[in-house]
Amino acid sequence: MLIDETYLEQQFGIKPHRKRAVNKTHDARKAHANTLDGSGEVNAAQKAFKKIERLVAVRDRSVSEVTKRLKQDDFSSADIDEAIDRALRCNYLDDHRFADILIRSRLSAGRGVEGIKRELQDHQIDLVSCEALFDEYQALYPSEFTRALDALMKKPPRAKNKQQAAFSKLMRMGYSSAIAAAAARQWAETA
């Protein structure tokens, strides 16, 4: 049975619960706070910044990597620059922090220094500013030659020509040709 709201009010003096009117000024302020231009619509620079927020929520990224990604999504250069500047001010993007994480993770994974340097160059990060990081982390890990031998011991290559296969594997892992050749030679002699 349905209860008539007017019946309750007339018989018992109970006023039915009515929905509150929506505060339009609050909604307008909220919409304005979510935009850069205050028009009520999210502009392209704001969309680009939101994209950056989603990207860096997954893992740390370099400025050049984020720029390439935004260009792929057809943002204009002006919108990309504005979003990148804002992300830098918010400390969402930091190439030095990215380089620090990349160097540490690659060295702990047994990668070679030459490959790490190439990867940093691909991200357009200045290698001179990273030299201190390389020195700091290489002091914590064994020598590059020892890491190359360890990589071959953990997962030895399977081929007829063991030395050539070991050399190729180490080159793919980012070791210099001199270290890869020496480690492959020593590993092939002991294997």
Q: pLDDT of 69-94, one tens digit each?
A: 999 999 999 999 999 999 999 999 99
Banded pLDDT at 1 (limits 50, 70, 90): very low
CB neighbours of 148 closer than 8 A, spacing ≥ 6?
A: 112, 170, 173, 175, 179, 180, 183
pLDDT of residue 18: 55
Residue 31 has pLDDT above 50, yes or no: no
Banded pLDDT at 29 (limits 50, 70, 90): very low
Could you give the CA distance from residue 62 to residue 74 in angstroms, rounded to a whole number? 19
Between 22 and 14, residue with greater pLDDT: 14
State the amino acid at position 134 in one-letter form: F
pLDDT of residue 108: 86
Between 121 and 32, residue with greater pLDDT: 121
Could you give the CA distance from residue 121 to residue 47 in angstroms, rounded to a whole number? 28
pLDDT of residue 24: 45
Give the C-alpha distances (Å, rounded to integers) separating 103 from 59, 70, 131, 137, 186.
15, 25, 10, 8, 27
Between 12 and 60, residue with greater pLDDT: 60
Could you give the CA distance from residue 140 to residue 136 in angstroms, rounded to a whole number? 7
- The predicted model scores a pTM of 0.72
Do the beta carbons of residue 109 and residue 118 sit within 8 Å?
no
Tracing tokens 């909604």 back to the chain, one arrives at: 27
Mean pLDDT of 25-34: 44
Do the beta carbons of residue 156 and residue 95 sit within 8 Å?
no
Between 47 and 27, residue with greater pLDDT: 47
